[in-house]
Amino acid sequence: MTTKQTPRARFAPRPFAPHRVEQTLDVELRLLVEGIYGPPASQLNGLDIGRAYWGANEEFRYGGDLVDVFHYGAGLTSLAVVDISGHGILAARHAGLVKHALRAYASCSFSAIDSIRALNRLCIENCAYEVEIEFFATAFFAIVDSRRETMEYVSAGHEAAFIVKADGHRLLQATGPILGLLDDDSSFHQETVELENDDVLVAVTDGFAEARNDRLAFLGTDAIVDAVKRSCDQSAEMQARAVTALALEYAGSRLQDDIAALVVKVTRP
């Protein structure tokens, strides 16, 4: 008499491995956060665009520094450089909120100043709703017209934006306070600048202003402008990388804050 054997399971269950779950979640989290910052900016007709980013925390590449380029409507292009309070996951979460809020406002035909005023209210009301979470940011937000002839901009507490020309540079000074600080629309103002062929817009986050060498001397705007001019024959992407590399080399291990750079070259015929 033969004993009937129970068929063996074709696939044996895998033992539970917490470290594998953590690794999977870490990869998925990084993909999600990198999606907030997006791929390299597409090159647009009349605009050569470059971005560069370096995270101060090696364990988490992205944080509260956001650079976003959005092409919409009848050939309009919005440019945003935002430095959000905090670091890590929370700052990245707020970066995603800011990015898509500004894109939504632009898509609804808001001007640069109306977009910033709406974002300021969002910062304040988000803090009120999520009581324990502070949400402040400096922001440079600009809209370039379809013919690449003018740019309207608002600089909310953001001092590190300028236009580099062959014969010098122009600092685009702050036109309003830090976002999330004052619930007052009248505190923000908008400026419009004319764009000429070969003009280069450079906007960087506060990490550049805080970069100091071994003598504790700050990097300064002139050094950034010189780096842009030395790489004038290169693409905007390479110029953005050159500016970021300058800050890293200048400050070395003393660079404690995230840094992000946007470079936009006007290349219309």
* Domains assigned to the chain: 46-266 (3.60.40.10)
pLDDT for position 135: 81
Cβ contact 201:194 at 8 Å = no
For 166, counting Cβ atoms within 10 Å of its Cβ (0-12 exposed, 13-18 middle, 19+ buried), the class is exposed
The per-residue DSSP string of 95-141 comes to HHHHHHHHHHHHHTT--HHHHHHHHHHHHHHHHHHSTT----EEEEE
Q: At what angle do helices 112-129 and 88-107 cross, to 10 degrees?
A: 140
For 261, counting Cβ atoms within 10 Å of its Cβ (0-12 exposed, 13-18 middle, 19+ buried), the class is buried
pLDDT for position 11: 41
pLDDT digits (tens, 9 = 90+) for 105-138: 999 999 999 999 999 999 999 888 887 677 899 9
Query: Which letter does DSSP use for residue 181 in this model?
Result: T
pLDDT for position 16: 45
pLDDT for position 43: 79
pLDDT digits (tens, 9 = 90+) for 71-91: 999 899 999 999 988 777 788
Within a 10 A sphere around the Cβ of 71, how many other Cβ atoms? 16
What pTM value is reported for the model?
0.83
For tokens 């979470």, name the residue. Answer: 133
**Residues 6 or more apart from 86 whose CB is under 8 A from it?**
63, 64, 94, 134
Query: What are the per-10-residue average pLDDT scores of the chain (269 residues)?
Result: 49 49 56 63 86 63 79 94 83 88 97 98 90 84 95 93 91 94 95 95 82 69 85 91 84 72 89
Cβ contact 236:263 at 8 Å = yes
From edge to edge, which strands make up the β-sheet containing 168-171?
47-54, 259-266, 200-204, 161-165, 168-171
